[in-house]
Structure 1
Amino acid sequence: MTLAEFFSCSLLAFGAPLVMFSLTVANDPVRIIIMIAAAFGWLLSFLLSSLVWYAVVPLRSYLAFGMVFAVIFQEGFRYGMYLLLRKTEEGLKEISENHNIGSNKLEMAYVSGLGFGTMSGAFALVNVLADSVGPGTLGLHSGTEYFFVTSAAMTLCMILLNTFWSVIFFSGFDEKNYLKVGWVVLSHFFVSGLSLLNSRELYAATILPSYIVLLITAYVAFRSAGGSTAKLVQSFSSRS
């Protein structure tokens, strides 16, 4: 039972991102490099926020304090990735076998966002997955049986959100549309704040609003990337 729980939660959290990586990133070495660089950027933001949390001793017991600085540093490094990729576009075209890699400026935003989200998801869920293997499971005498599946669902949500956030974030700075940038930062704070409710086992109050934000963010990212209903229908009809 514990192994079934482990694999089901793993696939729920990382199944869709793995497919996205396989179909859109794995066949291009430059995209892999960008994704790894973005993942490393997320690690650095996590390190800095951890140092701030550790340094301010009186507030260590308040999760909200650490969450605020985590979001600030993550968005700071997202902006750093934006600057880095915009300055290295021409160089990436030269070293890549795919010389069209920079033709769509938001392509690299998508790849870096996927790297950001994947590393975030790995850190969020790896210890939970390790505990899910056993011995025993939650919900028999204490705790709730929904903890593992809720953690996996929120991990998937954050991976996809980080991917879409990067597309919107890069688009916002390219177009000087700071409403998009504001949406990314504020929705990041909002969803991260909702996750604090998990300590009270208010999982529905966390998951439902988070996935509503995910749907809105996905739509904004889709439109920012130049998507339209006609193009979406055409892409599906051409494959059928």
Structure 2
Amino acid sequence: MTCLEFIGCACIAYGPLFAMFFFTILQDPIRIIILIASAFFWLVSLLMSSVIWFIVPLKDTLIFGVVSSVLFQEVFRFLIYILLRQAESGLKKVSVPNTNTEIADNKHVLAYVAGLGFGVMSGAFSLVNLLADLVGPGTMGLKSISNPSYFCITSSLLTMCFILLHTFWGVIFFSAVDNKNYIQLAWVTGSHLLVSCLTLLNRKGFYFSTIVPAFTVLICSAYIAFVICGGTCRRCKNGLLCCQKIVVSSSVPSET
């Protein structure tokens, strides 16, 4: 039973991540390098927030660590933006055969890959220790909160949510800095602070109060990123119609 729970929680948390990595990153070495670089920047932001937490005498105040960590992540998101924008002209000159590099054609590719890199490390640090405990010999329980059986599935859902959020936040943040759109910058920072602080409610077992707002922010961020990348409702409908035609044509038996 513990192995089944481990597999289920791992698939929920990291399933979308592996799908995006396999279909959009794996075949392009340039994107892999950018992904690793952005993941490293997230690690440095975690290191800096840990140093501040160690120096400032507020170790017992958990919300201070959450807020400082979010602010450092956004600062290093800006730093990776500066680095990639300065290296963008050089990346456009790189020609890798048999890959799907579109850096010269789509300026949002860098933002997507950088955001996914942040999401990779965020998801790894959020759930790896919990998954290690789920392997066995028993399922962990929490005595101080109600409904401890929902803790693992809630952690998996929130991990998946943060991975996707970091991806969408990356697209929104890069576009906002390019266009000096301070409203979108405020949305990225404010929504990041909101969702991160909401996770503190999990200590009291208020899982529903955490998951619903987090996924609401995820849907809103996904829509904003979709519009920034040039998406419209008309294109979405056309894509759905094409998918329906493909499904219908594949289900019709061929005549022999």
TM-score by length of 2: 0.89
Give the total of aligned pairs: 239
| Residue segments in structure 2 that go unaligned for 5+ positions in a row | 247-256
Deviation at 1:238, TM superposition (A): 3.8
Q: 1:18 to 1:63 in 2, by over 3 A?
A: same
Question: Matches of residues 65-214 of structure 1 in structure 2 within 5 Å?
Answer: 65-97=64-96, 100-139=102-141, 144-214=148-218
Tell me the alpha carbon deviations over residues 6-48 of structure 1, each in whole angstroms, 9 at most, x when there is no partner: 0100000000111011111111000000000000000000000
Segment of structure 1 superposing worse, 215-224 or 142-151: 142-151
1:17 aligned partner: 17
Question: Matches of residues 25-36 of structure 1 in structure 2 within 5 Å?
Answer: 25-36=25-36
Letter matched to residue 237 of structure 2: V
Q: Which runs of 4+ in 1 moved over 6 A?
A: none
Deviation at 1:199, TM superposition (A): 1.1
User: For 2:232, which of 228, 231, 236 is the aligned residue?
Assistant: 228
Q: 1:60 to 1:99 in 2, by over 3 A?
A: closer
Q: 1:141 to 1:196 in 2, by over 3 A?
A: closer
Question: Who wins on radius of gyration, i.e. which is larger?
Answer: 2
Deviation at 1:133, TM superposition (A): 1.1
Question: Contact (CA 8 Å) 1:30, 1:96: kept in 2 or not?
Answer: no
CA distance in 2, matches of 1:61, 1:139: 23
TM-score by length of 1: 0.95
1:62 aligned partner: 61
Deviation at 1:142, TM superposition (A): 7.4
Q: 1:91 to 1:208 in 2, by over 3 A?
A: same
Question: Contact (CA 8 Å) 2:102, 2:109: kept in 1 or not?
Answer: no
Letter matched to residue 41 of structure 2: G
Deviation at 1:49, TM superposition (A): 0.3
CA distance in 1, matches of 2:87, 2:212: 39
CA distance in 2, matches of 1:135, 1:3: 9
Question: Contact (CA 8 Å) 2:6, 2:135: kept in 1 or not?
Answer: yes
CA distance in 2, matches of 1:200, 1:187: 22
Letter matched to residue 215 of structure 1: I
Percent identical:
51
CA distance in 1, matches of 2:45, 2:104: 26
CA distance in 2, matches of 1:170, 1:179: 13
Q: 1:141 to 1:82 in 2, by over 3 A?
A: closer
Deviation at 1:152, TM superposition (A): 0.4
Deviation at 1:138, TM superposition (A): 3.7
